[in-house]
Amino acid sequence: MTRHVVVEPRGLASVKLRILVPVLSVLAALVVGGLFLAITGENPLDVYRKMADVAFGSANGVSNTLISATPLILTGVAAALAFKMLVWNIGGEGQLIMGAVFASGIAIWLGPAAPSWIAIPAVIVAGGVGGAVWASVAAIPRVYLKTNEIITTLMLNFIALSFMNFLVFGSSSPWRDSAVSTFPTGQPIPTNARLPTFFQRLDISIFIAFGLAIAAWWLVGKTRWGFAVQVVGDSPETAKYAGISVPNKILVVFLLSGAAAGFAGALYVAGPIGALEPRSLDLGLGFTGIIVAALAGLHLLAVIPIAILMGALNNSGPALQSIGVPTSTITMLQGAILIFAVGGEFFIRHRIRLPRKESTPQEIPDGVEVA
């Protein structure tokens, strides 16, 4: 039998390839998006130029791009951390919302009298706790009852969203602005709990997000605990033989992943939004975090530049309306980027050869990985 293409599992892909695949994924997505733009009578190059201009063309644009990127760094870390361990936490969305609920709750409870050096750390910690608590609803059944976490985390997103809507639109909770009676909005959190800005609307949350991403990278890559986690991620069986407590590691990573998404919610309400505002929080930031993680190859530092790229896309979306192009172009592009990125995974994991002579494909046993 002749096989003209030989596909072999590859050991470790080169750094060049690991960078090339995401870059090509973005370019391919731009081509696909361009096709749809062209079909509907737009000039794709004009649209893309406009997007780049809005996102990076001015100091104000860059500042807004970084504001959009901040939550994505953390939801990206949340997804990357979990996916590394084959924990399919796709509940970043809900964990972000519950982080925002906890964070704004503590800020309002502390009131305007609390000094900033207490209020700001309290808000951030509360966000992490909120995210972790929400993740635990799926994590505990996953670890102790082996309940599939994909469905539970997914459903928890919708419950969190309804809960936030209930707090602001459906009740007279402390989260709802009592001064506004016509159309319900979130209660503004006291200014002492707000993160200080340093350039236009840009506040220090971007640095906190950088710091947390670096901390996550250090924890997983440079500590004994992180090494154990990586072993569990590579092969739970090996980890078990090595005496590593697998359920314990899964539980902790799951909760940390939830906390990361919760931090994103906290920084967003204490930073640019300044209130539990459902219309500003229901943007799919958790799902976009999954794109960030996948495109970053689950690398916790690579998450940062990718999040800035996705932040740029999100930031440029609303401006497209002014040139008559739907904002949903952005979601379409992001979805396409993710499709190509996940498809590109094949080339990172496999080597394709076109042998000149007839050769029989080698039987190379491979630790078949799902991720």
Partner 1 sequence: MNDTQLILTMFAAVGLGTPLIFATVGEIITERAGILNLGVQGMMLIGAVTGFWGTFQTGNLVFGVVIAMVCGAALSAVHAFTSITLRVNQIVSGLALALFGSGLASFLGRAGSEPLVGHPSRAQFEPIFTGGIADIPIVGPLLFGHDPLVYLSWLVAGAASYYLFRTRMGLSLRAVGEDPASAEAAGVHVSKVRYVHVLIGGALAGLGGAYFSLALTPTWQDDPIGAAGWIAIALVILASWRPWRAVFAAYLFGAAERVQFTLQTLGEPWSDIPSTLLAMLPFILAIIAMIVLTSGKRARLLGAPSALGVPYFREQR
Q: Binding of partner 1 at residue 334 (CB under 8 A)?
A: yes
Binding residue (CB under 8 A) for partner 1 from 256, 291, 292, 302: 291
Nearer to partner 1, 120 or 168 (CB): 168
**Backbone φ and ψ of 42, nearest 5°:** -100, 155
Strands 350-353, 202-203: pairing kind: unpaired
Print the binding letters for residues 112-151 with partner 1: x by CB under 8 A, - otherwise: -------------------------x---x---xxxx-xx
Shortest distance, CB of residue 365 to partner 1, whole angstroms? 7
Supply the DSSP string of 218-261, one letter for each residue: HHHHHSHHHHHHHHHHH-HHHHHHTT--HHHHHHHHHHHHHHHH
Q: Binding of partner 1 at residue 198 (CB under 8 A)?
A: no
The contacts of residue 201 (CB under 8 Å, 6+ apart) are 63, 64, 67, 272
Which alpha helices (H) appear in 146-297, and where do they start and end? 149-169, 205-222, 224-234, 236-241, 246-268, 278-281, 285-295
Per-residue b or e along 317-356, where b marks 16 or more CB atoms closer than 10 Å to that residue's CB: bebbeeeebeeebbbebbebbbebbeebbeebeeeeeeee
Binding residue (CB under 8 A) for partner 1 from 17, 45, 352, 371: 371
Q: Binding of partner 1 at residue 336 (CB under 8 A)?
A: yes
User: Which stretch in 55-63, 246-254, 303-311, 329-337 sits in contact with partner 1 by CB under 8 A?
Assistant: 329-337
Binding-residue total with partner 1 (CB under 8 A): 61
How far apart are the C-alpha atoms of 369 and 371, rounded to whole Å? Answer: 6
Q: Which residue has the tokens 């391919």?
A: 28
Q: Binding of partner 1 at residue 158 (CB under 8 A)?
A: yes
Q: Binding of partner 1 at residue 370 (CB under 8 A)?
A: yes
Binding residue (CB under 8 A) for partner 1 from 41, 181, 241, 358: 41
Q: Binding of partner 1 at residue 81 (CB under 8 A)?
A: no
Q: Binding of partner 1 at residue 152 (CB under 8 A)?
A: yes
Q: Binding of partner 1 at residue 303 (CB under 8 A)?
A: no
Binding residue (CB under 8 A) for partner 1 from 13, 114, 159, 252: 159
Token digits of residue 357: 């002579």
Centroid of chain to Cα 167: 25
User: Which stretch in 57-65, 256-264, 283-291, 300-308 sits in contact with partner 1 by CB under 8 A?
Assistant: 283-291
Q: Binding of partner 1 at residue 31 (CB under 8 A)?
A: no
User: Which stretch in 56-64, 217-225, 226-234, 341-349 sits in contact with partner 1 by CB under 8 A?
Assistant: 341-349
Select from 11, 120, 8, 26 the least CA-distant residue to 341.
Answer: 26
Q: Binding of partner 1 at residue 331 (CB under 8 A)?
A: yes
User: Which stretch in 63-71, 127-135, 207-215, 336-344 sits in contact with partner 1 by CB under 8 A?
Assistant: 336-344
Token digits of residue 222: 């440079």
How far apart are the C-alpha atoms of 1 and 163, rounded to whole Å? Answer: 61
How far apart are the C-alpha atoms of 169 and 167, rounded to whole Å? Answer: 6
Q: Binding of partner 1 at residue 238 (CB under 8 A)?
A: no
How far apart are the C-alpha atoms of 130 and 260, rounded to whole Å? Answer: 10
Binding residue (CB under 8 A) for partner 1 from 109, 169, 207, 227: 169
Nearer to partner 1, 271 or 311 (CB): 311
CB 156 within 8 A of CB 264: no
Q: Binding of partner 1 at residue 264 (CB under 8 A)?
A: no
Chain residues in the site for partner 1 (CB under 8 A): 7, 36-37, 40-42, 83, 88, 90, 137, 141, 145-148, 150-152, 154-156, 158-159, 162-163, 165-166, 169-171, 284, 287, 290-291, 294, 325-326, 328-336, 338-339, 341-343, 345-346, 349, 361, 363, 365-366, 368, 370-371
